[in-house]
Amino acid sequence: VRGRCRGRCGAGAGLRVAMPGAVRTLCLAALLGALRAGGTELTLELPDSAQRCFHQELESGVKFTLDYQVISGGHYDVDCYVEDPNGKTIYQETKKQYDSFSHHTGAKGVYTFCFSNEFSTFSHKIVYFDFQVGDEPPILPDMNNRVTALTQLESACVTIHEMLKAVIDSQTHYRLREAQDRSRAEELNGRVSYWSVGETLILFVVSIGQVVLLKSFFTEKRPSSSGAGT
């Protein structure tokens, strides 16, 4: 999962640039437009002994990236594989907790990526994945073809854009960690509760057994009637 700060991510790395209202609006629109890269984020439930597949039609020569992480269930592992339109497996990993895979398509067609929990017979998994297609477009027109230096406003837009990307990555990273930690805490709480109930039952059984045993020690046996007659 991408959750790292790149460059200046602290609060002290502030930018003081005076921007007119219209220019500020255009800059914000460019930033938001650049942040909307083609891709999908999804959290799915994966029952035991089950498999879930997704399909995406892609052009030739396009780069795509698949990031995934198991949030809860079992040992937090899952099988994953990716197939090209010809049915060839271009990526395959077994029992992975998280991973990232990038690939440039060699043929046009439908690409398939699947998550499998077939190796588990009772563990229910929750899996998060992020599927991104293509490279991120430049936030400014003709930015890659320019021969002159960026203006102060353009440099500010680029810096803000990088900071926003770092914030988005950090938020995703911490959301996944929080969900995973909550799942582990709930699982631990369930185990502690079951163990406490078991100890309580054992304590009652032992207490009743001790009472019965002590009572048998102090029970006076009366002589039989036949013995009294003789």
Q: How far, rounded to the nearest angstrom, does the alpha carbon of residue 203 sit from its chain's CA centroid?
A: 41
Instruction: Note whether 44 and 131 are same-domain residues.
Output: yes
Instruction: Note whether 115 and 180 are same-domain residues.
Output: no
Q: Which residues contact 208 (CB under 8 A, 6 or more apart)?
A: none
Structural domain boundaries, residue 182:
137-215
CATH number at residue 116: 2.60.120.680
User: How many other C-beta atoms are found inside a 10 Å radius of the C-beta of residue 27?
Assistant: 20
Q: Note whether residue 171 is domain-resident.
A: yes
Q: Note whether residue 8 is domain-resident.
A: no
Instruction: Note whether 46 and 129 are same-domain residues.
Output: yes
Instruction: Note whether 108 and 48 are same-domain residues.
Output: yes
Confidence (pLDDT) at 31: 39
Confidence (pLDDT) at 7: 34
Confidence (pLDDT) at 162: 82
Among candidate residues 102, 135, 168, the one where a domain is terminated = 135
Instruction: Note whether 168 and 190 are same-domain residues.
Output: yes
Instruction: Note whether 56 and 118 are same-domain residues.
Output: yes
Q: Note whether residue 195 is domain-resident.
A: yes
Q: How many residues does the chain have?
A: 230
H helices of 90-230, in order, are 152-217, 225-229
Q: Note whether residue 230 is domain-resident.
A: no
* Strand, coil or helix: 110: strand
- Number of domains composing the chain: 2
Nearest 10 degrees: Cα torsion 158, 160, 163, 164: -110
Confidence (pLDDT) at 17: 36
Kindly state the tokens that stand for 185: 């805490």
Confidence (pLDDT) at 40: 82
Please report which helix (H) or strand (E) contains residue 41, including its range: strand 39-46
Mean pLDDT for the chain? 77
Confidence (pLDDT) at 183: 80
pTM surpassing 0.75?
no
Query: For the chain, how long is the longest CA-to-CA vector?
Result: 129
Distance between CA atoms of 87 and 110, rounded to whole angstroms? Answer: 10
Instruction: Note whether 103 and 162 are same-domain residues.
Output: no
pLDDT (tens digit per residue) in 9-21: 333 333 333 334 4
Instruction: Note whether 107 and 145 are same-domain residues.
Output: no
Instruction: Note whether 94 and 175 are same-domain residues.
Output: no
Distance between CA atoms of 117 and 87, rounded to whole angstroms? Answer: 21
Among candidate residues 135, 165, 197, the one where a domain is terminated = 135
Confidence (pLDDT) at 151: 76
Residues in the chain with pLDDT values less than 70: 1-38, 136-150, 220-230
User: Which candidate, 131, 127, 149, 128, places its Cα nearest to that of 140?
Assistant: 149
Confidence (pLDDT) at 156: 81
Instruction: Note whether 154 and 207 are same-domain residues.
Output: yes
Confidence (pLDDT) at 172: 79
Confidence (pLDDT) at 10: 36
Instruction: Note whether 51 and 116 are same-domain residues.
Output: yes
Q: How far, rounded to the nearest angstrom, does the alpha carbon of residue 144 sit from its chain's CA centroid?
A: 34
